[in-house]
Amino acid sequence: MRAAAARSARIADMEGAPMARRKKIYEGKAKILYEGPEPGTIVQYFKDDATAFNAEKKDVIDGKGVLNNRLSEFFMNGLTQIGVPNHFIRRLNMREQLVRNCEIVPLEVIVRNYAAGTMSKRLGIAEGTQLPRPIVEYCYKDDSLGDPLVTEEHIAAFGWASQQDMDDILSLALRVNDFMSGVMLAVGIRLVDFKIEIGRVFDGDYQRLIVADEISPDSCRLWDIETGQKLDKDVFRRDLGNLTDAYSEVARRLGVLPQSNVTKPTLIN
Ligand code: 5GP
């Protein structure tokens, strides 16, 4: 009982703690990671910074971090509901969530349902062409190399993941794809492709792989089914309009931002 009280006091403290008191573990392009309130946890802070083309293009997009925090919470909670293990514990505030600390596998796992982006460029397939089946690709996570595409041979030879890990990663990626495709289809959005990251957690001698990092319009391609309008980070990458409007539209359709339709007070005569 006392332990539980101490734990909630630590978490409450963390929620209101000024940034200066936190120990920063890592700062990436879109997120900052802080030490969590108890062992094995991390606070993930979503920044408003947007980058593209390996940070050659940069901007600060008002509200992006708040939207991605909410959307990642929504998708990770949905995955938990269907039994797909992931790092999410709970949202702390507008920009922060408490997640399980894990050792990130140095791979970007990309699942594609329709050709777009680098696949279209590499293979000369028109953007929007439906693929014969979902295709999973792996990129080695290294910004200085531009996250190059690698094969399972590279992954095994360099020891980034074992064969058992690769079987588990493939199965996680395809389950996330089925879940995300269905959720998006229900609100009139096509899931063209997405990227996830995978983390290792250790329970004693036993290790498990879980979905980590974030799932948000920063890491997916989302097209309106009727109009083809892009509702993801390509809006920023390709200068197609206002990124926050696009992400808000995704959040609105999913019912993630109920306060977005709060009306102004009206005078009653
Ligand atoms: P592509 O390889 O076509 O550039 O990207 C395929 C998918 O993975 C897209 O949905 C894209 O947003 C996502 N993706 C690829 N690399 C990254 C990355 O470094 N960061 C993020 N957030 N998403 C990525």
- The verdict on 144 and 212 lying in the same domain is yes
- The verdict on 79 and 114 lying in the same domain is no
Residue nearest to atom 7 of ligand 1 (CA): 194
Place of tokens 């493939």: 170
Mean pLDDT, the chain, integer: 92
Mutate which of 140, 195, 221 for ligand 1 pocket (most atoms within 8 A of beta carbon): 195
Report the atom number in ligand 1 closest to the C-alpha of 139.
16
Structural domain range at position 6 = 2-100
- The verdict on 63 and 119 lying in the same domain is no
Is pLDDT of 2 > 60? Answer: no
pLDDT band of 22, cuts 50, 70, 90 = confident
- The verdict on 139 and 224 lying in the same domain is yes
- The verdict on 91 and 127 lying in the same domain is no
Question: What's the pLDDT at 253?
Answer: 98
Last residue of a domain, one of 100, 124, 153: 100
pLDDT band of 257, cuts 50, 70, 90 = confident
Question: Of 7-16, 155-164, 187-196, which range is least confident?
Answer: 7-16
SS3 205: coil
Mutate which of 110, 123, 180 for ligand 1 pocket (most atoms within 8 A of beta carbon): 110
Look at strands 49-52 and 57-60 and give their pairing. antiparallel
Residue nearest to atom 21 of ligand 1 (CA): 219
Question: What's the pLDDT at 14?
Answer: 46
- The verdict on 90 and 109 lying in the same domain is no
pLDDT tens figures, 199-235: 999 988 899 999 999 999 999 999 999 999 999 999 9
Its pTM stands at: 0.90
Across residues 96-114, what is the average pLDDT? 98
Q: Is residue 266 part of a domain?
A: no
- The verdict on 55 and 108 lying in the same domain is no
Across residues 35-61, what is the average pLDDT? 95
Distances (CA, A) of 97 to 70, 156, 169, 232, 268: 9, 33, 24, 21, 40
Place of tokens 């734990």: 7
Q: Is residue 249 part of a domain?
A: no
Q: Is residue 66 part of a domain?
A: yes
- The verdict on 222 and 151 lying in the same domain is yes
The two tokens of residue 252 are 């609105």
Q: How far is the CA of 150 from the centre of ligand 1 (A)?
A: 15
Question: CB neighbours of 190 closer than 8 A, spacing ≥ 6?
Answer: 113, 114, 184, 222, 223, 224, 225
Between residues 7 and 90, which one has the greater pLDDT? 90
The CATH number linked to 18 is 3.30.200.20
- The verdict on 192 and 116 lying in the same domain is yes
pLDDT band of 3, cuts 50, 70, 90 = low
Q: In the chain, what's the furthest Cα-to-Cα distance?
A: 76
The CATH number linked to 231 is 3.30.470.20
- The verdict on 178 and 61 lying in the same domain is no
- The verdict on 35 and 60 lying in the same domain is yes
Last residue of a domain, one of 100, 120, 144: 100
Is pLDDT of 13 > 50? Answer: no
- The verdict on 8 and 48 lying in the same domain is yes
